């Protein structure tokens, strides 16, 4: 798998997929160094996001299959299992203070999507 190391910001960019692998205003899951990462193409806002694919509520590998949207200005994703919603920016669960997921930086270059881990 293709990677780019950015020593200044201390991230390694992993090539995850091509832009059209992820549906517009939807998500997909990439397998990167043994980790499941959910990637979202929020084309309505012209933004990309990446988070854990695992929902902390019942440990289901499903966040990438959730619907995305907004709450006020905050972009969010809803787990398809029990509809816990998470901020795509901070990973904080918006309808249950107890949960949080990790978020990762995304870089799109020449039709490729890279995730920083």
Partner 1 sequence: MKAVSNTRIVVVGNGMVGYKFCEKLLSKKKDGQDFTITVFGEEPRAAYDRVHLSEFFAGKTADDLSMAGIDWYAENGIRLFLSDPVVDIDREEKLVRSHHGHIVYYDYLVMATGSGAFVPSIPGVEKDGVFVYRTIEDLELIQSYAKKARRGAVIGGGLLGLEAAKALLDLGLEEAHVVEFAPRLMPRQIDDAGSRMLQSQLESLGLHIHLSKSTQEIKGDDCIEGMQFADNTFLEVDMLVISAGIRPRDEVAKIAGLETHPRGGIVVNNQLQTSDPFIFAIGECALAHHMIYGLIAPGYEMADVVATMLTGGEKEFLPYDMSTKLKLIGTDVASFGDPFVEEPACRTIRYENKAKGIYKRINVSTDGKTLLGGILVGEAEQYNMLLQTCKNKTILPPDSEDLILGSRGGEEAGAGVMSLPDDALICSCEAVTKGMICHEVGENGHQTVDALKKCCKAGTGCGGCIPMVKDLITGVLKEKGVYVRNVVCEHFDYSRQELMDLVKMNGLKTYGAVLDHHGKGDGCEICKPVVASVLASLWNENILEKDRAVVQDSNDRYLANIQKGGTYSVVPRIPGGEITPEKLIVIGQVAQKYGLYTKITGGQRIDLFGAHLGDLPDIWEELIDAGFESGHAYGKSLRTVKSCVGSTWCRFGVQDSVSFAIEVEDRYKGLRSPHKLKSAVSGCVRECAEAQSKDFGIIATDKGWNLFVCGNGGAKPQHAQLLASDVDKETCLRLIDRFLMFYIKTADPLTRTATWLNKMEGGMNYLKAVVVDDVLGIAEELERDMQNLIDVYKCEWREVVESPELRKRFTHFVNTPIKDPSITFAEMREQKKATEWA
How many angstroms separate the CA atoms of 10 and 72, rounded?
32
Interface pattern 61-90 for partner 1 (x via CB under 8 A): xx--xxxxxxxx--xx-x-xx-x-x-----
> In the structure encoding, which two tokens stand for residue 117, read together?
């881990």
Per-residue binding string, ligand FES, 80-109, x by CB under 6 A, is -xx-x-------------------------
Q: Which stretch binds partner 1 (CB under 8 A): 4-12, 21-29, 102-110?
A: 21-29
Contact 60, 79 (CB under 8 A): yes
Token reading at 35? 């980790």
Using rule CB under 6 A, residue 60 touches ligand FES: yes
- Nearest Cα residue to 65 out of 50, 81, 49, 76: 81
Report the partner that residue 6 touches, choosing among partner 1, ligand FES, none (CB closer than 5 to 8 A by kind). Answer: none
| Binds ligand FES by CB under 6 A, chosen from 37, 38, 57, 101 | 57
22 lines the binding site for partner 1 (CB under 8 A): yes
Rounded Cα–Cα distance for residues 105 and 94 (Å): 20
Quick one: what does residue 84 bind among ligand FES, partner 1, none, with the CB cut-off 5 to 8 Å set by partner type? ligand FES
CA distances from 86 to 18, 38, 113 (A): 25, 12, 22
Residues near ligand FES, by CB under 6 A:
55, 57-58, 60, 79, 81-82, 84
């Amino acid at each position: 798998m293709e990677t780019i190391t950015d020593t200044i910001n201390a991230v390694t960019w992993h090539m995850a997929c091509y832009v059209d692998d992820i549906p517009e205003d939807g998500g997909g899951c990439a397998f990167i160094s043994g980790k499941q990462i959910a990637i979202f193409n929020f084309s309505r806002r012209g933004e990309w996001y990446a988070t854990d694919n695992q929902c902390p509520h019942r440990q289901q590998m499903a966040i990438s299959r959730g619907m995305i949207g907004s709450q006020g200005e905050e972009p969010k994703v809803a787990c398809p299992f029990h509809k816990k919603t998470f901020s795509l920016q901070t990973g904080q669960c918006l309808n249950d203070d107890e949960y949080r997921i990790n978020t990762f930086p995304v870089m799109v270059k020449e039709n490729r999507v890279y995730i920083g881990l």
